[in-house]
Amino acid sequence: MKTAQQVAEKFASRASAAAGDYVNGAMATTKDQAAAAIAAKEIYKQALTASFGRDSYAKGLQKSGKAGWQNGVKTKGSERFATGVSESATKYATNSGKYDSARAAASSLPRGLKGSETNLARVKAVVVALRTAKVGASA
């Protein structure tokens, strides 16, 4: 009988060798992953509700703890951080650019003293413009 450690090592070895198969399978499928996920949204809601009822979120965090998080940052995050940021910069610029005009909503409004109603009006103008840009005028 194999130990859990032996099974885990075999799984990791075989999975890394199958990375190409994983990509090829995703490229060759006729299934629409997004459509299937959307069709299952009620099941997703039910699963989340059940998870909340079991307090799985807190239990998972307690199990890993700060040390687990820091170990993940050290062993995986450090390698993935710069690559992830670099690869997502264009997508970020495109998506965030949709809000450039909203962020400038206060540029024509007068400035006031720190904490003044004049400055709060500037903040409100930006918040309203950002929210409108995100969800539309009806929100």
Radius of gyration of the chain (CA): 24
Indicate whether this model's pTM tops 0.75.
no
Query: 68-86: per-residue pLDDT in tens?
Result: 999 999 999 988 998 998 8
The 3-class secondary structure across the chain, one letter per residue, is: CCCHHHHHHHHHHHHHHCHHHHHHHHHHCCCCHHHHHHHCHHHHHHHHHHHHHHCHHHHHHHHHHHHHHHHHHHHHHHHHHHHHHHHHHHHHHHHHHCCHHHHCCCCCCCCCCCCCHHHHHHHHHHHHHHHHHHHCCCC
Instruction: Give percent of the chain with pLDDT exceeding 90.
Output: 73
